[in-house]
Amino acid sequence: MIALCFAIFLLILPTAAIGGVRAFDTPDDGGNSITVVWDTEPLRASQAEYVRIEIQRRVVSGSGWDDLGKIPIDDSVYVDDNVENGVGYTYRLIFTDVSGGAIIVDSEPAKSSPQLFNSRRTNVLIGVLICIVVLGYYFYRGRKGGFFYVRPIAGLQAIDEAVGRATELGKPILYSAGRGSMQRVATIASMNVLSSVATKAAEYNTPLLFPNNDPVVAAVAQEVAYEAYVKAGHPDRYVAENIFYLTDSQFGYAAAVDGIMVRQRPATNLFMGSFEAESLILAETGNSIGAIQIAGTDSTIQLSFFIVACDYVLIGEEYFAASGYLAKDPLVLSSLKGQDMLKLILGILLILGAILVTAGGGELLSVLEIG
Amino acid sequence: MHRKLPLLICFALGTFMLVQFFVPHKASTALYEAILDWVQIIYAFSLLVGAMMLIKHHAVIASGRDAKERPFSILILMGITVMLVAGLFFGRGEGTVFHWLFQNVQAPMQATMFSLLSFFVASAAYRGFRARNSQAIFLLVAAIIVMLGRIPVGEIISSYIPKAADWILNVPSMAARRGIYIGIALGTIATSLRVILGIERTYLGGK
Amino acid sequence: MGQNDKNKMGIQGRHFIFILMAIVVAAPLIFRVGLPLRVTAEVRQVYGFLDRLPPHSAVIFSFDHETSTLPEMVPLAEALLRHCFRKNLKVFGMALLAEGAAVGDDNLRRIGSEYDKKYGEDYLFWGFRPQFTTAILALGERIDHEFPSDYTGQDIRSFPVMEGIENYKDIAAVITVGDGDIPVYWVNYAQARYGVKIIPAVTAVMATTMYPFLQSGQLVGLAAGLKGAAEYEMLIGKPGRAVKGMDAQSGAHIFVIILILVGNTVMIAGRRRKGR
């Protein structure tokens, strides 16, 4: 009886200006979601002290209201992730004050639908398209036989010298791709460098040792090296056992490679790939056995360790340039030119951004936020 | 065909992964989740390949004539056997042989390797930080300030040392690092595009 | 960059440095000095963020390290876990490196028991997933799809603590306790793509890798190395093994500075000799 009286009391209450409830399809999502928003300002301005908001939902063609739960009084948004696409829903908010009085506000019906494009990521799309267009243009020029000059990179020029030294001393070359898996770009670049190194090792008949941290990288490296030996005309000199998987443990790998260095005494160590804290352990051990060491990595923090302990270091982009540089592949070289162009665009944007922030227009940079 | 098929798969999946970032539709998300599942499943198989490669490699050395390498390969094969038997037949929980070996053999050995870093940092610092020219002097002074600023002693000497260390890390060092990061990011984008378009094929094993 | 002076410091010189370093690190661990400690802004940011979270907010602890770095990783994890449990947050553990799984499970249970927390009700350990990039991305879609069962093999939906937890939308922060590059992947994939808050607790050697992300506002804060752990221990008012270890770290830093100075003195003396 009391409940009935309360229900009648609720029904006769006026739907005051309080609330301003609006329901709409949640934007930029995969569907099955409706967002309900309301204005909390009138609640605060009201003399009554509101303590609770309840939310209910009804299918437009249906009859009864389903309770969805209670909402903290300060909230102004509710996302209903449990709706069917294409079905109309009406939402009801019941604002209850401290004395038990309540105001009911209903929304207009809303339907949920899935979107095909997340408009909050338009900025990323523009960025991606710019990259594709710029790089695509230079790929096109490269395919047409365009010439691209790349400045001499000391570390890459030294590879020949390093392989030659190993041959003179009759000692092996040790190659490491570090800790990266095959999906890392640094590892892909490493395979390109390996191809050139293996070709030279095949020509000079110098053993090439390549202990691996990842089984997939080991398998790919075997293929890359074999192709290089075939290309050099010496498939008989290829020893598959020299390219092997060791362990995926970081320091287990460092210990094993150190052991190989100390026992086999390679004349040349090439560290090309993604490295972590093991970089200094490897490079210092190589230094202690007097090997010529060349390192290339995208791991910025490890660069400082390699610089101290190695003879030559390829820094960041120089390392990515290695494959095009060594193979003289015009398509790879053309992408380097494309990267330069993108860098120029980024540089201009950075300067504009800095001017904008300095001039107090920093809020405009919010267009760069990813949704 | 044996080259074209992987290139086609790479192009299709690479393009899909790029496009799906912008498509919130459930169908796109479902396919995306399925691809993520497959990547993990394939990786699990690659571990098996790795284990087989490891055993084969060391079995060849252990049965060979290289006296320098043979004892280590025998030790590795013994280690694999012991851990495999302990883990498969006697459980891996607390109180098992596997757990004991993990805690008392593997963990200390690995920690030992990590701790070697401190020794190598010391010898590298002794050899590497030489005041050969004005740039090297800058580097040397900055290194000393940062090292002092990261320990309580720096604060004791002067409250400016930690502040100077923070400034070095947050301004000049950061500027250089960001420059390298931007270069690396562009290199990553270019290489990824080359892989998707089939220009970069080394990952398939040769050109 | 030219050829290094490889043979100028012989084996004896190198070993002498190694022995001195061992003494410098070990001595303060035996004879405590108790140097004062300054709490840095980045550690204070982590503390402040976790402290302001409402009770029962969910945080993920990802143990992305191997056993080699336990002396740095465990004090960091312990201090952060103590804070989370004290604040009655829901704690979910996981590992993206196999070795981190055993360590993470042990940490959660040990620190959880200090605060009378119950497994499955207050915290849960999901377990290990290989291929960290895909695992990080997959958690953004559906957690129970990526981890259908917990570390002990039970259905994760059967645990009350999982109620209302679907994906990153329901996670207040991810604390990645890592010794390698994995914290960077958390930033690149979970933060950039899903907007989840990231708190890296990393080794000192990896700290500088995280600074650019800290400055760009992509991280809540940063707790790095033994020093970060010691600072956090001070903030939660429970000084532990990290605070004790700081004297040793100070000793090592000072020793390296002395080595640099000695190295330069030797070089200058050598030049003068040559000059004569």
Residue B31 lies in a domain: yes
Is residue A6 over pLDDT 60?
A: no
pLDDT level of residue C7 (50, 70, 90 thresholds): very low
Instruction: Name chain C contacts of A307, Cβ cutoff 8 Å.
Output: 1
Pairwise CA distance, residues B145 & B156, whole Å: 13
Contact A250 C68 (CB under 8 A): yes
Q: What is the pLDDT of residue C5?
A: 47
Residue B22 lies in a domain: yes
Higher pLDDT, B93 or A14: B93
CA C131 vs. chain centroid, Å, equals 20
Token reading at C197? 């808050």
How would DSSP label each residue in A52-93? EEEEEEEETT--SPEEEEEE-TT--EEEE----BT-EEEEEE
Is residue A5 over pLDDT 80?
A: no
Residue C107 lies in a domain: yes
Sign of CA dihedral C145, C150, C153, C159: negative
Domain limits at C222? 41-241
Token reading at B194? 């080359």
Q: What is the pLDDT of residue C2?
A: 41
Residue C267 lies in a domain: no
Structure letter (DSSP) for residue A325: H
Which residue of C5, C21, C138 is in closest CB contact with B36? C138
Which residue in B57, B60, B201 has the most chain A C-beta atoms within 10 A of its own C-beta, making it the best mutation to test that interface?
Answer: B57
Higher pLDDT, C148 or B128: C148
Residue C190 lies in a domain: yes
Q: Locate tokens 């760069």: which residue?
A: A368
- Parallel/antiparallel/unpaired status of strands C198-202 and C223-224: parallel
Number of domains into which chain B is organized: 1
What average pLDDT does this structure show over B166-177? 90
Residue B44 lies in a domain: yes
Structure letter (DSSP) for residue C54: P
Q: Locate tokens 């590497």: which residue?
A: B128
pLDDT in tens, A239-270: 988 999 999 888 999 999 999 999 999 999 99
Q: In which residue ranges of chain A is CATH 3.40.50 found?
A: 152-330
Q: What is the pLDDT of residue C10?
A: 56
Name which of A42-51, C37-46, C130-139 the model is least confident about.
A42-51
Query: Which fold is adopted by the domain A152-330?
Result: Rossmann fold (3.40.50)
Residue C91 lies in a domain: yes
Locate the chain C residue with the closest alpha carbon to A309. Answer: C4
Which residue of B43, B110, B140 is in closest CB contact with C131? B43
Which residue of B72, B193, B202 is in closest CB contact with A135? B193
B85 touches chain A (CB under 8 A): no
* CB distance A294 to A312 below 8 Å: yes
What average pLDDT does this structure show over A89-114? 90
pLDDT in tens, A186-213: 998 899 899 999 999 999 999 999 999 9
Q: How many CB pairs under 8 A join B and C?
A: 140
Is residue A8 over pLDDT 60?
A: no
What average pLDDT does this structure show over B13-22? 94
Q: Which amino acid type is present at position A240?
A: A
Q: Min CA distance, A165 vs chain B (Å)?
A: 23
Residue B17 lies in a domain: yes
Phi, psi of B133 (to 5 degrees): -150, -175
Q: What is the pLDDT of residue A283?
A: 95
Q: What is the pLDDT of residue A10?
A: 45
* CB distance B53 to A244 below 8 Å: yes
- Chain A partners (3+ C-beta pairs within 8 A): B, C
* CB distance A301 to A215 below 8 Å: no
Q: Which amino acid type is present at position C27?
A: A
Which percentage of chain A shows pLDDT scores above 90?
A: 56
Which residue in C7, C131, C187, C271 has the most chain B C-beta atoms within 10 A of its own C-beta, making it the best mutation to test that interface?
Answer: C131
Contact A179 C205 (CB under 8 A): no
Q: What is the pLDDT of residue A169?
A: 94
Q: Locate tokens 């490679």: which residue?
A: A257
C56 touches chain A (CB under 8 A): no
Q: What is the pLDDT of residue C4?
A: 46
Locate the chain A residue with the closest alpha carbon to B114. Answer: A251
Q: In which residue ranges of chain A is CATH 2.60.40.10 found?
A: 2-111
Pairwise CA distance, residues B130 & C164, whole Å: 58
Q: Which amino acid type is present at position C11?
A: I
Can you point out the beta strands (E) in A206-298? 208-212, 243-245, 268-274, 292-297
Residue C53 lies in a domain: yes
pLDDT in tens, B114-140: 888 888 888 888 777 778 788 888 888
Residue C3 lies in a domain: no
Which residue of A181, A274, A313 is in closest CB contact with C1? A313
Which residue in B116, B119, B178 has the most chain A C-beta atoms within 10 A of its own C-beta, making it the best mutation to test that interface?
Answer: B116
Q: Give the contacts of C244 (CB within 8 A, at least 6 positions apart).
A: C29, C32
What average pLDDT does this structure show over A95-119? 90
Residue B19 lies in a domain: yes
* CB distance C99 to C63 below 8 Å: no
Pairwise CA distance, residues C78 & C70, whole Å: 11
pLDDT in tens, C149-204: 999 899 999 999 999 999 999 999 999 999 988 999 999 999 988 999 999 999 98
Which residue of C5, C227, C260 is in closest CB contact with B129? C260
Residue C221 lies in a domain: yes
> What's the CATH code, domain A2-111?
2.60.40.10
What average pLDDT does this structure show over B40-46? 86
Residue B155 lies in a domain: no
- Parallel/antiparallel/unpaired status of strands A19-25 and A34-39: antiparallel
Q: Min CA distance, B63 vs chain C (Å)?
A: 31
Nearest to C204 by CA among C43, C24, C33: C43
C141 touches chain B (CB under 8 A): yes
Contact A179 C209 (CB under 8 A): no
* CB distance A217 to A182 below 8 Å: yes
Q: Which CATH number does the domain housing residue C197 bear?
A: 3.40.50
> In three state form, how does the secondary structure of A107-124 look?
CCCEEECCCCCCHHHHHH
Q: Min CA distance, A286 vs chain C (Å)?
A: 10
Which residue of C67, C204, C263 is in closest CB contact with B130? C263
Higher pLDDT, A28 or A9: A28
Which residue of B29, B124, B191 is in closest CB contact with A280? B124
Token reading at A326? 């060594």
B49: exposed, middle or buried (C-beta count within 10 Å: 0-12, 13-18, 19+)? middle
Q: What is the pLDDT of residue C12?
A: 63
pLDDT level of residue A332 (50, 70, 90 thresholds): confident
Pairwise CA distance, residues A210 & A216, whole Å: 13
- Parallel/antiparallel/unpaired status of strands A173-178 and A268-274: parallel
Residue B109 lies in a domain: no
Q: At C166, is the secondary structure helix, strand, or coil?
A: coil
A311 touches chain C (CB under 8 A): yes
Instruction: Name chain C contacts of A303, Cβ cutoff 8 Å.
Output: none
Contact A335 B53 (CB under 8 A): no
Q: Min CA distance, B130 vs chain C (Å)?
A: 6
Which percentage of chain C shows pLDDT scores above 90?
A: 58
Q: What is the pLDDT of residue C264?
A: 86
Which percentage of chain A shows pLDDT scores above 70?
A: 95
pLDDT in tens, A11-62: 444 444 566 889 999 999 999 999 999 987 877 777 778 888 899 999 988 7
pLDDT level of residue A140 (50, 70, 90 thresholds): very high
Distances (CA, A) of A125 to A49, A363, C133: 47, 21, 22
C107 touches chain B (CB under 8 A): no
Higher pLDDT, A367 or C124: C124
Locate the chain C residue with the closest alpha carbon to B154. Answer: C250
The number of helices, as runs of H, and strands, as runs of E, in chain C is 11, 6
Contact A287 C3 (CB under 8 A): no
pLDDT level of residue A363 (50, 70, 90 thresholds): confident
Q: B200: how many CB neighbours lie within 10 A of its CB?
A: 26
Pairwise CA distance, residues B30 & B36, whole Å: 10
Which residue of A139, A308, A335 is in closest CB contact with B124? A308
* CB distance C261 to C70 below 8 Å: no
Residue C262 lies in a domain: no
CA-atom Rg of chain C in angstroms: 22
Contact C212 B156 (CB under 8 A): no
Residue B1 lies in a domain: yes
Is residue C1 over pLDDT 80?
A: no
Q: Mean pLDDT of all residues in chain B?
A: 88
Instruction: Name chain C contacts of A366, Cβ cutoff 8 Å.
Output: none
pLDDT level of residue C86 (50, 70, 90 thresholds): very high
Q: Locate tokens 């958690």: which residue?
A: C139
Q: Mean pLDDT of all residues in chain A?
A: 88
Locate the chain B residue with the closest alpha carbon to C188. Answer: B185
C193: exposed, middle or buried (C-beta count within 10 Å: 0-12, 13-18, 19+)? middle
What average pLDDT does this structure show over C12-21? 80
* CB distance B36 to B16 below 8 Å: no
Contact C260 B123 (CB under 8 A): no
